[in-house]
Amino acid sequence: MTNQALLIIDYTNDFVADKGALTCGPAGQSLAPAIVQLAENLHRNGEWVLFPTDVHTPHDPYHPESQLFPPHNIRDTWGRELFGEVNDWYRQHRADDNVWLFDKTRYSAFAGTDLDLRLRERRVDTLHLTGVCTDICVLHTAVDAYNLGYHLVIHRDAVASFNQAGHDWALNHFATALGAQLI
């Protein structure tokens, strides 16, 4: 039975595309080949490939991000669609039992979702984290995963952020504070 899952976090047009509302631009765009290769490898081995994907409603006065960021990842918009060849891969495999995309409304893929329950049902103990942004949603997902007892693998060539300093800080934090394996 499988015990690993790949999380492709927030790899949407709004976070990655040149015209995205909150884009990390070329740094994020360059991740696509590595993410697709990881998805293909884990999927081929029967592992889980998950797409925790940020979703919002426009100008939600109750959501804390509304005060911090411009509107982004609005449900049923181009901005919320997965970016580029990652979207192509997802569309090709979305009907497979071990591939699923789910909504998240906070930085962490665990906050307010049934992710932990679904992973435990499948006896997953190792999470491979990819996507954007290294020092925001990937970081918060990693902290929650660590606190829940998951082993973490962070793929350096498959995470990016808005700025290099935040990205580098998060990579260091994954290794030194969360015991993550960086590859």
Top-confidence residue, 1 or 126: 126
- Local confidence band at 103 (pLDDT 50, 70, 90 cut-offs): very high
Q: What's the domain count of the chain?
A: 1
CA trace torsion 104, 106, 111, 115 (10° rounding): 20
pLDDT digits (tens, 9 = 90+) for 123-159: 999 999 999 999 999 999 999 999 999 999 999 999 9
Q: What pLDDT score does 145 carry?
A: 98
Cβ neighbors of 19 (< 8 A, separation 6 or more) are 13
- What is the helix (H) or strand (E) element at residue 147, kind and residue range? helix 139-147
Q: How far apart are the first and last CA of the chain?
A: 24
For residue 26, pLDDT over 50 is answered with yes
pTM greater than 0.75 (yes/no): yes
| pLDDT cut 70: percent of the chain above it | 99
pLDDT digits (tens, 9 = 90+) for 54-100: 999 988 888 888 788 888 999 999 999 999 999 999 999 999 999 99
Q: What pLDDT score does 112 carry?
A: 97
Tokens encoding 110? 């665990």
Mean residue pLDDT of the chain comes to: 96
Q: What pLDDT score does 58 carry?
A: 85
CATH number at 170 reads 3.40.50.850
Alpha-carbon radius of gyration of the chain: 15
Q: What pLDDT score does 63 carry?
A: 80
Question: Which amino acid, 42?
Answer: L
Give, as one character, the DSSP assignment of residue 122: T
Range of the domain at 137: 4-182
For residue 1, pLDDT over 50 is answered with no
How far is Cα 13 from Cα 72, in angstroms, rounded to an integer?
10
Q: What pLDDT score does 2 carry?
A: 58
The angle subtended at Cα 147 by Cα 65 and Cα 111, nearest 5°, is 30
